[in-house]
Amino acid sequence: MKFNSIIIGSSGATGRFVLKKLIENNNCSKIISIGRSALGKNILNSKVRHIVVDSLLDLSSTREYWINQDVFFNCIGTTKKKAGGPDQFHNIEFGISNEAARMASESKILHASIISASGANHKKWANKWIHPLFYIKTMGQKEQTIISDFDFQYASVFKPGMLIRMVDDNNIFEKFLNILGVGLNVEILANAMIADAENVINGTRKSKTKYFLGNNMIINSLKN
């Protein structure tokens, strides 16, 4: 079946592959991408409309673009270092996710799909100065934006372990993980997210909420 999709975080490590795979997918008719900067010229495609906004923390101006979408992909992701500190990290991972989930829910989008992390738990005690705990709690809160904070008929939470982002060819650590077969290639994660979305659209997925726990489950989901 044909479907329309909307994505945030399409310039990120996983998001760019989700966008690429959606473009290549003949069943995906239309793609809305929302971000703070323009997409690269190599991404331009007739079925992609990219909306540039000043801030992803207020998406009210983009309301019209959320209408008549079948699936919402949240590929937002950052690190404390890139974000500039714990508060900024929380604003990006949870704040943007919360705002996007609100827009998707209010627009009656059937299915929301989000990238979280292994071990994420919104009930975990955390102090923002103890980043491992703060990270786990924040990612858990991010999950809740599509599980309990806002209403969706279907919700998918992908909780990968170590990811191989394929962004920096000089990243020796990621090359080592790839050789060992420990990390999950972000392209595989993107494929799994889209395959799951198609299962929802086609009516072959019965569970309303589905957690993809760990790299093995994500990989195995593509074999079914």
Which tens digits make up the pLDDT trace of 72-110? 999 999 999 999 999 999 999 999 999 999 999 999 999
> Is residue 121 within 8 Å of 157, Cβ to Cβ?
no
- Give the Cα separation of 44 and 49 in Å (integer): 9
- Give the Cα separation of 218 and 159 in Å (integer): 8
Token pair, residue 107, equals: 């627009």
User: What values do phi and psi take at 107, rounded to 5?
Assistant: -90, 5
> Is residue 22 within 8 Å of 194, Cβ to Cβ?
yes
Taking 50 as the threshold, does the pLDDT of residue 170 lie above it? Answer: no
pTM of the model: 0.93
Percent of the chain with pLDDT strictly greater than 70: 92
Q: Looking at domain 3-221, what is its CATH homologous superfamily?
A: NAD(P)-binding Rossmann-like Domain (3.40.50.720)
pLDDT for residue 166: 61
Taking 60 as the threshold, does the pLDDT of residue 181 lie above it? Answer: no
Token pair, residue 48, equals: 């992609």
